[in-house]
């Protein structure tokens, strides 16, 4: 049920606000040009929510325009009293049309639509992606960090907008990458820390003593995430250094699953997904983490829990392992892999089925 809810509602936040803005402008039916459908809404058929989310994000990027123009189309989506039409001759009439920036647009109202959307859209939560320690990266880590950053941009465009991230002290290669990706992510030199209320800021640090709570996610506005991949050379206090370097007296929290960071996703886009699943979808911290864990994360977590159980002198049988697998949403194939691993752990006895 968690996964189904996540798929259905991940993009609703932005789509809902955009639909409200369109209705205020008097838009109830809008025809989407064939070029826009082909370029931005294909190849897979998107839901009405996904279409509206994609449209507004590309409007913010200057790629899609909305025009006051008589047009005709066939229905392909409906959400919050906004009827979306595919451009065809003589079907359902509409007074507005969405076009690609290179198509003709006799009477453009894109500026009005964006201004209205931004006046309603709350730019919180804000992720402060801090690249101050970028030069500490090994070359392999640097490549992973760039890859994670690119995935992050796509995650933002699917769930919120790029207005919800501020890139702090980026290296020139990231600045160039932003330009190539047509990104509108704000770049800051670190001065942002002097203008935010530190009581509303959380530094996410896996080595912090205090655990992140649902209350932390709901009540705070800014979340600092260090853009530092430390897969090759662990740097336990690198994230804490950000707090000291910027002199910000904020909360420092670790994302933990049942008192441990083992199995908790490290990827930046997944960390943001966890925050958004809690804040926008109403998931518990545990469910938000589990729904974003990779197969390797889940196996690592289950094996860790089994090892801990065994070290306490307790017997680990198939029933116990299956119970853990159910908690972490592990399938049968993954269960077999876990069984092979735990046979190497001392003091374990897995009962034959």
Q: What is the DSSP letter of 45?
A: P
Structure tokens of 131? 């690249």
Which pLDDT belongs to residue 340? 72
Mean pLDDT value across the chain: 89
Query: What is the fold, at CATH topology level, of the domain defined by 126-291?
Result: Alpha/beta knot (3.40.1280)
Domain boundaries, the chain: 2-120, 126-291, 295-342
Tens digits of per-residue pLDDT, 66-123?
A: 999 999 999 999 999 999 999 998 789 999 999 999 999 999 999 999 999 999 998 8
43-80 per-position pLDDT tens digit: 666 899 999 999 999 999 999 999 999 999 999 999 99
Distance CA 220, CA 68 (A): 40
Among candidate residues 122, 125, 123, 141, the one with its CA nearest the CA of residue 133: 141
Q: Are 162 and 154 in contact (CB under 8 A)?
A: no
DSSP-derived letter for residue 107 is S
Q: Which DSSP helix (H) or strand (E) runs through 222? A: strand 222-226
pTM exceeds cut of 0.75: yes
Say if residue 219's pLDDT is above 90: yes
Residue-wise pLDDT for 13-38, tens only, equals 899 999 999 999 999 999 999 999 99
């Amino acid at each position: 049920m968690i996964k189904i809810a996540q798929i259905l509602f991940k993009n609703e936040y932005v789509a809902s606000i955009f639909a409200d803005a369109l209705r205020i402008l008097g838009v109830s039916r809008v025809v989407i040009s064939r070029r826009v459908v082909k370029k931005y809404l294909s190849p897979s058929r998107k839901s009405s929510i996904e279409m509206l989310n994609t449209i507004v994000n590309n409007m913010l990027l200057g790629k899609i325009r909305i025009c006051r123009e008589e047009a005709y189309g066939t229905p392909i989506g409906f959400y919050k009293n906004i009827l979306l039409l595919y451009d065809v001759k003589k079907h359902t009439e509409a007074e507005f049309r969405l076009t690609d920036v290179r198509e003709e647009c006799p009477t453009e109202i894109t500026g009005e639509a964006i201004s209205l959307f931004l006046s309603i859209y709350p730019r919180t939560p804000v992720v402060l992606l801090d690249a101050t320690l970028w030069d500490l990266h090994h070359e392999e880590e640097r490549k992973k960090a760039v890859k994670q950053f690119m995935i992050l941009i796509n995650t933002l465009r699917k769930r919120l907008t790029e207005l919800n991230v501020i890139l702090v002290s980026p290296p020139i290669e990231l600045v160039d990458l932003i330009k190539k990706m047509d990104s509108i992510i704000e770049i800051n030199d670190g001065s942002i820390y002097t203008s935010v209320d530190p009581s509303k800021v959380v530094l996410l640090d896996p080595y912090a003593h205090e655990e992140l709570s649902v209350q932390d996610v709901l009540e705070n506005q800014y979340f600092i995430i260090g853009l530092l991949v430390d897969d090759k050379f662990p740097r336990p206090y690198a994230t804490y250094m950000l707090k000291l370097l910027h002199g910000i007296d904020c909360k420092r929290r670790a994302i933990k699953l049942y008192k441990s960071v083992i199995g908790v996703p490290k990827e930046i886009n997944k960390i943001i997904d966890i925050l958004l699943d809690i804040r926008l979808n109403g998931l518990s911290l545990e469910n938000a983490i589990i729904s974003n864990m990779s197969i390797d994360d889940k196996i690592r977590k289950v094996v860790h829990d089994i090892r801990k159980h065994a070290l306490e002198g307790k017997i680990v049988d198939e029933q116990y392992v299956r119970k853990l697998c159910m908690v972490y949403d592990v399938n049968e194939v993954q269960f077999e892999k876990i069984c092979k691993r735990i046979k190497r752990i001392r003091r374990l006895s897995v009962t034959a089925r």
